[in-house]
Amino acid sequence: MTQHNWDLSKIYANDAARLEAKENIESQLAALHTLAGGGKDALPEILPAVFDLQRLFSSYYGYTMMSRDVNTKDPSAQRMQQESDGMEARFTAATAFVRPLLLSLTEEEVEELLQKPDMARFRITIDRIRRYKDHTLSTEEERILSSLDEVGGQFQNAFFMLSFADMRFPDMEDGTPLTQSNYISLLESQDPAIRKEAFTKYYDTYDKVKNTLAADMYGNVVANVRKAQLRNFSGARQAALFEDDVDEQVYDALVEAVSESLPALQEYYRIKGRAQGLDPLHMYDVYLPVDTGQDAKVAYETAQGWLLEAVAPLGEEYSNVVKEAFRDRWIDVYPKDGKQSGAYSGGSYDSVPYILLNFTDNLDSAFTLAHEMGHSVHSKFARDNNTFEDHGYTIFVAEVASTFNELLLLDYLKKRADSDAERLRLVDHLLNSFKSTVFRQTMFAEFEHQTHRRVEDNGTLTDEELRGMYYALNEKYFADSVVLDQEIALEYARIP
């Protein structure tokens, strides 16, 4: 089983090594304060000191976050993560002077700075920072605002602790545990009684803590809105998109295009219901895969083999990275008590690009492996071929590599399918994946925008209001193609 747990000792061999790294970071953090008063002339010293420390800290933060995510109940992991959050806040406050200082330079002074030894690596970074000229405060105001970042982050921490460490779901009637990790798998059961039972018990549990989660969400939204206002953005949405240099018109165009296509989504659900003998289709039926009469189980080792075959057209270099990920324990594979649900690709510039999975031996899990591996190989190549300052990529383009990997896997499986039942199963997966990626994510985006606009207009976000907003969006997206069971209104409370 150890082979199925990621190996974080690649970052720190033991806790003594972690503590040594922590002390080193704290020492360098203290030294930053001595550079703050140096002004423009000190920038050749300031920039390397800031970004070299950021590089060290990103490794430390990644380690503590991943340690917590595999066991949110572990007190030592919780403590380490809180320490990291505090260090991050102090780092942000200590470096708050850098942005105003860079913005004070003329174009000529910027070019002079970049000609100095070791400064060329900061060109893109400086260009990005100077985009924020209209959204940057004074040095002292930046320091104060930065010191509050840790406060804003506690809303997400509270959500994680409640959702993954403290929340307990009742067992199913047959004794099967109901968890965050297996909930969707239970909704894929061919037994309608199991689907309905899982759906009802899952949201009954959320119903018991709905006011707590609503208050937590309200706090998070308020923090986003106030920060955007303080930085002179037109709203929280502009602030969120500005970082990736995405115009708000792109968001509006997406919502408009998806809204115009909703009749196709609704017809898809009507066809799905008729094909599966479910008239009407309920919300607890929408994840039900087509019944091909075949064993739907997919072992992790099978998924590994599929993926290696699927990515072969990308060449030996790419395939070797995937093999390395499997061999050298980049991946934490299976669900476990206290583990964060879902999946992600993580790590830092100086670590391997780790992958968190909750593999449940089905086709969706195989595609999730392909998806996250796309992110991780992308990250490895980005880190191997760029400096620390330039290796990052925006979330706006990140999904290209991951979704392409899914399509490679789909193409491979379609070519090896030797029956109509297998091909039908793959078409069903593709349609469901497209629905989730395009329609469902856009619905989430609409909900997020609505909640922030409500607070910007001096409104409130009680559980009743949040459920009403979310249910109305489900009415828009599903119309009469699916019975909108009232429990679905609480889905707003479970999405991170």
Distance CA(244)–CA(250), nearest Å, equals 12
- Catalytic site includes residue 142: no
> For helices 420-434 and 395-416, what crossing angle results, to 10°?
170
Could you say which of 88, 372, 446, 456 is catalytic? 372
CB atoms within 10 A of CB 155: 19
3-state secondary structure the chain: CHHHCCCHHHCCCCHHHHHHHHHHHHHHHHHHHHHHHHCHHHHHHHHHHHHHHHHHHHHHHHHHHHHHHCCCCCHHHHHHHHHHHHHHHHHHHHCCCHHHHHHCCCHHHHHHHHCCCCCHHHHHHHHHHHCCHHHCCCHHHHHHHHHCHHHHHHHHHHHHHHHHHHCCCCCCCCCCCCCCCCHHHHHCCCCHHHHHHHHHHHHHHHHHCHHHHHHHHHHHHHHHHHHHHHCCCCCHHHHHHHCCCCCHHHHHHHHHHHHHCHHHHHHHHHHHHHHCCCCCCEHHHCCCCCCCCCCCCCCHHHHHHHHHHHCHHHCHHHHHHHHHHHHCCCEECCCCCCCCCCCEECCCCCCCCCEECCCCCCHHHHHHHHHHHHHHHHHHHHHHCCCHHHCCCCHHHHHHHHHHHHHHHHHHHHHHCCCHHHHHHHHHHHHHHHHHHHHHHHHHHHHHHHHHHHHHCCCCCCHHHHHHHHHHHHHHHHCCCCECCHHHHHHHHCCC
On whether the CB atoms of residues 287 and 184 are closer than 8 A, the answer is: yes
Buried residues in 196-222 as b, exposed as e (16+ CB within 10 A): bbbbebbbebbeebbeebbebbbbbbb
Would you please indicate which residues are annotated as catalytic (active-site) residues? 372
